[in-house]
């Protein structure tokens, strides 16, 4: 069944690929990005041209996840044009690479503002509509780093862990309203995304110099990641877009809470399953088992 989908951070990478995959699958897709008239104008035009060429309902909308008014305006535009909003794909995010001590509190605050608070702003904009309708899907693009905790990515790991925790607790509270939660958990990719090339670095250069003996390890981080892939494997982020499309094609109430798309064989699925069992047992012992599953018609 086709639905109206908002995707955050759709200018490049996983968000862009997901917009293309979902539009091809027949959904009405609002690919959102910041600064449509400026640096992202070409990305927006590429998506619109694809829609025109292939007869897809692929649209773009301005949305800066660091601005609550921007999130509210984007959702209002969608509701005005499409009349409803069925699914939000929380994809917007940024990567920091460097030594934790060298990141200033302001550096980390900016990253959390995008990777965690951005989700909260968009959810606050969409949830009143979804609660009123008694249906909807919140799909979060997480990260295996929340489980494997790699070095030299401390602020990023912390921000993605915070986003994951927000998603889980929000799920308990929106399940009774018929709003389903899915967390798609990608592993790392070294092609098809600008995550590594566009990564930010620590603001305190002097503190970074104190860790100079580790610089060679940081310099080969992308190479080390690539070495984890099985030779000949097509480890491309389009697999994440395809998994999102597969999940949204499932009937409401049957979608997995988590789905891992990882080509590095990090064993994240085992950790997630153990965590799920522990959480469900604890929530049940608290007497809140009715919050564990989405209410369906």
Q: Is 22 helix (H, G, I), strand (E, B) or coil?
A: helix
Catalytic residue among 30, 99, 140, 156: 156
Per-residue pLDDT of 233-265, as tens digits, reads 888 999 999 999 999 999 999 999 999 999 999
- H-assigned helices in 145-233: 145-148, 154-174, 205-209, 215-219, 221-226
Cα distance between residue 60 and residue 45, in whole Å:
9
- Using an 8 Å Cβ cutoff, are 247 and 182 in contact? yes
- Each of the 297 residues of the chain gets a pLDDT tens digit; together they read 689 999 999 999 999 999 999 999 999 999 999 999 899 999 999 999 999 999 999 999 999 999 999 999 999 999 999 999 999 999 999 999 999 999 999 999 999 999 999 999 999 999 999 999 999 999 999 999 999 999 999 999 999 999 999 999 999 999 999 999 999 999 998 876 666 667 888 889 999 999 999 999 999 988 898 899 988 888 899 999 999 999 999 999 999 999 999 999 999 999 999 999 999 999 999 999 999 999 987
pTM: 0.95
Kindly list the structural domains of the chain, giving each domain's residue range(s) and its CATH number in brackets, ordered by start.
4-291 (3.40.50.720)
105-115 vs 154-174: helix crossing angle, rounded to 10: 40
Active-site annotation holds for 156: yes
- Using an 8 Å Cβ cutoff, are 133 and 126 in contact? no
């Amino acid at each position: 069944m086709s639905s109206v989908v908002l995707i955050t951070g759709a200018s490049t990478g996983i968000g862009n690929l997901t917009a293309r995959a979902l539009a091809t699958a027949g959904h009405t897709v609002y690919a959102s990005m910041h600064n449509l008239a400026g640096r992202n104008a070409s990305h927006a035009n590429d998506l619109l041209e694809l829609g025109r060429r292939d007869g897809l309902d692929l649209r773009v909308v301005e949305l800066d996840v660091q601005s609550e008014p921007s999130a509210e305006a984007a959702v209002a535009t969608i509701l005005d044009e499409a009349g409803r909003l069925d699914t939000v794909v929380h994809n917007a995010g940024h990567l920091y690479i460097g030594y934790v001590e060298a990141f200033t509190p302001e550096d980390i605050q900016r990253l959390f503002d995008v990777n965690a608070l951005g989700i909260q702003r968009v959810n606050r904009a969409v949830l009143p509509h979804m609660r009123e309708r008694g249906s909807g899907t919140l799909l979060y693009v997480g990260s295996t780093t929340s489980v494997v905790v790699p070095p030299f990515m401390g602020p990023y790991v912390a921000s993605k862990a915070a986003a994951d925790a927000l998603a889980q607790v929000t799920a308990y509270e929106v399940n009774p309203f018929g709003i389903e939660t899915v967390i798609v958990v990608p592993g790392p990719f070294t092609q098809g995304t600008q995550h590594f090339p566009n990564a930010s670095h620590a603001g305190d250069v002097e503190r970074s110099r104190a860790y100079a003996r580790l610089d060679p390890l940081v310099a080969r981080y992308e190479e080390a990641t690539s070495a984890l892939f099985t030779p000949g494997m097509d480890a491309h982020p389009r697999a994440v877009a395809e998994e999102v499309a597969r999940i949204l094609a499932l009937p409401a109430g049957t979608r997995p809470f988590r789905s891992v798309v990882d080509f590095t064989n990090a064993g994240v699925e085992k950790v997630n399953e153990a965590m799920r069992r522990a959480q469900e047992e604890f929530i049940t012992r608290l007497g809140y088992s009715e919050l564990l599953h989405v209410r369906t018609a």
